[in-house]
Structure 1
Amino acid sequence: MNSTLTTWVDRVNNEQFLINARESARKLWLCSLGAYSLASKSSVRAVAKLVREGKAFSPKARQQIEDKYAELRSSATATMARGEELVQDRIVRPLDFLVLATKRDVEQLSARMMRLASEVHSLAAAETRPIVAEKKTV
């Protein structure tokens, strides 16, 4: 083959390659736009469907949440009752055995001591008055 013909064939091949590449790039671009359009339409429909299902599921979910809350609350109450019982068994009852005074006991004893002290003072004052009176008469 002569060089002019070879150059011309190479040129035609190169142009054909560029045309094919452009056409492939154009098809790829259109395919991407189509996928984007389809995805946006699908996402709008999917979101609308999820909202509808969420509204339908809301009462069920609320009931399930309330049921779980009641179950957890009763479990916590039972656990706290067991804890209080353990405190009673292991701390309070042994302290009762030791007969330790409570704050209320101390307050009652203090009030009783105050009353007794006032009675003692009044009795002491009553005893000293007659003695003073007897000394004046002598």
Structure 2
Amino acid sequence: MSKTVSAWVDRVGGQQVLLKALEATRKLWLGGLGAYSLAARSSVRAVETLLRESKAMPPKACQQIDEKSAELMSTANTAIQRGEQVVRERFLRPLDFVLLATRRDIEQLSLRVIELSTEVRQLATSKAVPSTKPAENGDSPMMAGTA
């Protein structure tokens, strides 16, 4: 192969080969510089684009977070409502058939017990003192004798 190259150099002339090699090297060097310059400009544009997009990200991210949280809240509310409905249907509705005392009923009964206790104490203290009066106000004879 070296014989072929040296024969070609002899045929073309040494100076022309050197000029062509020098020109090719120069073009290669300029092409490399051009590629470097193009890459540098592209990278600057790419970095600027990334910075612009990153500055726009917080509002977008906040919007996406708000949308996702609204969606999750809606899903949670739906699940809670479904759970409440199940409790009403399977637990509270059957209890409607059972007669349960309400808080108001219990308070009224407590007041009545207090009133009756007061009356019993009054009757007990009035019976402790001998009285000649017969029982009044529709008191039963059994009540009068058991004090």
Q: What is the TM-score with the length of structure 1 in the denominator?
A: 0.49
Instruction: Kindly name which structure, 1 or 2, has the bigger radius of gyration based on alpha carbons.
Output: 2
TM-score with structure 2 setting the length: 0.47
| Higher RCO (CA-CA < 8 Å; seq separation 6+) | 2
